Amino acid sequence: MLDNNSSHQLSYSPVQRRITVWYAALIFVSLVFVVRLFYLQVIRHDYYAKAALSGQLKEYELEPERGLIMAHAGEDTLPIVLNEIKYTLFADPKFITEPEKVAGELQGIIGGDKSFYESQMRQDSRYAILAKKLNDDQKQKIEALKEKGIGLREQPYRTYPQGGLAAQVLGFVNDEGVGSYGIEEALHEELKGKPGQLKAITDAAGVPLVSNDDNIIKPAEKGKKVLMTLDVSIQKQLEDILKTGLENAKSTSGSALIMDPNTGAIKAMANFPSYNPAEFFKVEDAGLFTNAAVSAPLEVGSIMKVLTTAAALNQGVVNRNTSYYDPSRFSIDGYDITNIEEDGGAGTRSVADILQLSLNTGATWLLMQMGGGEINDKARQAWYDYMKNHYRLGQRTGIEQGYEADGLIPDPKEGFGLNLQYANTSFGQGMSATITQMAAALSSVVNGGIYYQPRLVESLIDSNGQTQEMSPKVLNDKVVTPEVSQTMVELMEYVVEKNHRTYGLSSLRPGYAIGGKTGTAEISKPEGGYYEDRFNGTFMGFVGGDKPQYVIAVRVNEPKIPGYAGSKAAGPIFSNLATMLIDNVGVTPKTGN
C-alpha cells in the first residue's frame, strides 16, 4: 500500500540517536518521578497523612435546640415560645470577584440595599454579614446562585405564636443565644440544653463523611421544655383588662396578676407598657424588658392593713369583735398620723372598720396593741417578725424570673424615728414590696395560713419525655391560724360588700366570695418626704366560693382621675378581673348555691 521506501528506514543514524536520547530522557524523567513518589509516599508518608487528617478532621460543637415554653389553655397546653431556624447570610469578600453582580442577585432575592451588600463584599475581611433571619425559601434561592464567597449559616430564633402575650414574663433570647429577662433568663440553664460534640472526617465544606468509622458523634441534648402555670386565656383577658383599666384611669403604666392561693401558681401576670419579644432588638428603653410585677417594688399603701390586721389577730392582741376608741389622729415622733377625709372623725371603731374605712390610725392602733398599747420595741419586733418571716417581705420570693427585687422593710432596731417608720409600715408606707410579694402574702392569709412560694413553672419535660413536676413549695405553714385566715376572708368580703360600687362592681355576685382591699399609696420624693399630688393605686383581693380560689393584685401608677387611686383606678381593674374569672374561667361557687 504505502511505498515502503527504504530511505525512511532508520539506520543507526543521527535520527536514531535523537530518538534514543529522547527516549532515554523520558525514562530518566520517569525514574525521577518514581524516586520522588517513593520520597513522598513512603518516606514522608506520616507527615502528609497527618497533614491530610488535620485538614479533614474537624471538631464541632453541635448546638442543642432550646426548650420550648408551653402554657395552659384551659384543659390543654399549647406552646407559646417556639424555635425557628433562620439563616444568616455572610460573605467572604476574598472570594467575591464581582461584588456588584452578586449584590444585584442578592437584592433580587432578599430585597434590601444593594449598595450595602456591595460595600460589605468589598470589605477587607473574611467574614461580613449581609443579612439575617432569611427564610428557607430565600436560602434555597441564594444557594441556587452558586456564587463563590457567600454562605449561609443556620441560626435558631425564638418565635411567639401568641405575639406579645406575657412578653415580660417570658423574656427573650439575645443574639448570643442567652436567655435575657423573665423565664428565659431564670431557666436559661434548663432551657438551653447540652451541646453535643462531633469529631469527624469531613469534606472541605465541613460536611461529615458518613462512611468514616473514626467519627465521634455525641448528639446535642435538647433543652428542657417548660410548662408554665400561666393560662393563655386568662393571661389574654388580664392583659386586655389591665390595658383598658389603665386607659380609663389615665395612667401610663401598671401591673396585675392572678395567682392560685392554694398552690402559689401564677395564672396570669402582666405589665403595661410591654414589648414584642420577637423584635426585642428594636426596644430602646431596657426598662420595658423587666417584669415590673416582680422587679419593681412600691410603697404598697393601705392594702398592707390586711396583713397588719391578720398579724394582730394572729398574735391574739385583738379579735374580730374588739372595739376601740379611734382619735382619728395619732402624734408619733412629732408627726401626725391622720386618715382620709371620709373617715367620719373620732369615734368607736371595730377591727372590721379599720379595713372597711381604711383607717391609718386604726392600723397604727393595731401596731400599738402588738406592743401592749404603744409602739415600742416589742411592737416593732413583733410586726417585723410578721413582715419578714410570715409574709416574707423584704426578700425575694424566688419566682422563676430574672431581676426579681427584694423590696424593703425597715429594721426594727436600727434607724431614725423608728416608731414613726413602723407606724407608717402598718398602713403600707415607709416600706416597699412587689405586687407578687403582696399577692403571695395575701394568699397565705386567706388560704388557711400556708405561704406558698409564688411560681410560674409547673413542670419541666426533658428530651426523653420525662416530666419533672415542680410541686408547690411551702415556705411557712403557720403564717396565721386557719381561724384567723377565715376571719380575714370574711373581713375582706365585708370590705367589698360595703364598697363594691366604688370599685366599679355594680352588683355582688350571689354565691361567690369576693374580698379585697384598696391602697392609695403616697409616692416618696427621692430627697425624702412625699409628693402631695402623686399617688399609686393598688388593690389586692380574692375570688372564690367556700374558699378563695384566685388571688388578684393590681397596681396602677399615678392615675390622673379624680378620687382615690386605690378604689377608683385599681378597683375597677380588680372588679373586671374578678368578674372575668367568674364568668369566663370558672370559679366554684359556695356550697348551697
Q: Which residues in this chain contact another protein in the complex, by CB under 8 A?
A: 1-16, 18-19, 22-23, 26-27, 29-30, 32-34, 36-38, 40-42, 44-45, 47-49, 51-52, 55-56, 201-205, 207, 209, 211-212
Classify the C-alpha dihedral 254-260-263-265 as positive or negative.
negative
The span from the CA of 462 to the CA of 222, in Å, is 8
Cα 160 from Cα 336, distance rounded (Å): 53
Q: How far is the CB of 179 from another protein (least distance, A)?
A: 37
Residue 126 CA to residue 263 CA, distance in Å, equals 56
3-class DSSP assignment, residue 443: helix
Q: Which is nearer to another protein, 4 or 507 (CB)?
A: 4
Q: How far is CA 449 from CA 143, 401, 465, 480, in A?
A: 64, 25, 36, 5
Report the 10 Å Cβ neighbour count for 83: 17
Q: 248 is written with which cell numbers?
A: 380609663
Residues facing residue 231 across a β-bridge: 72
The smaller minimum CB distance to another protein, of residues 137 and 176, is found at 137
Single-letter code of the amino acid located at 33: F
Q: How far apart are CA 430 and CA 383, in angstroms?
A: 14
Complex with another protein: residue 44 or 250, whichever CB lies closer: 44
Residue 127 beta carbon to another protein: minimum distance, rounded to whole angstroms: 15
Distance of alpha carbon 502 from alpha carbon 27, whole angstroms: 112
Shortest distance, CB of residue 285 to another protein, whole angstroms?
A: 47
Q: How many angstroms separate the CA atoms of 570 and 518, rounded?
A: 8
Closest approach of Cβ 55 to another protein, in Å?
Answer: 6
Nearer to another protein, 56 or 322 (CB): 56
C-alpha 421/C-alpha 416 separation (Å) is 8
Cα 423 from Cα 379, distance rounded (Å): 10
For residue 381, give the 3-state DSSP assignment: helix
Please, which residue, 23 or 335, has the CB nearer to another protein?
A: 23
Closer residue to another protein in complex, CB, 41/244: 41
* Residue 35 CB neighbour total at 10 angstroms: 10
**CA 104/CA 114 separation, integer angstroms:** 6
> Between 4 and 591, whose beta carbon lies closer to another protein?
4
- Reduced to 3 states (helix: H, G, I; strand: E, B; else coil), residue 553 is strand
**Closer CB to another protein, residue 8 or residue 282?**
8
In the complex, least distance from residue 209 CB atom to another protein, rounded to whole angstroms: 6
224 in Cβ contact with 234 (< 8 Å) = no
Q: Pick from 314, 379, 317, 320: which is nearest to 354 by CA?
A: 320
Min. distance of Cβ 271 from another protein in angstroms?
51
> Do residues 528 and 508 lie in contact, with contact meaning Cβ atoms separated by under 8 Å?
no
Nearer Cβ to another protein, position 14 or 529?
Answer: 14
Q: How far is the CB of 95 from another protein (least distance, A)?
A: 10
User: Whose Cβ is closer to another protein: residue 47's or residue 335's?
Assistant: 47
Using the minimum distance from each CB to another protein, give the nearer residue, 34 or 340.
34
Phi, psi dihedrals of residue 133, rounded to the nearest 5°: 60, 45
Cell of 96: 467575591
Euclidean distance between CA atoms 61 and 282, whole angstroms: 30
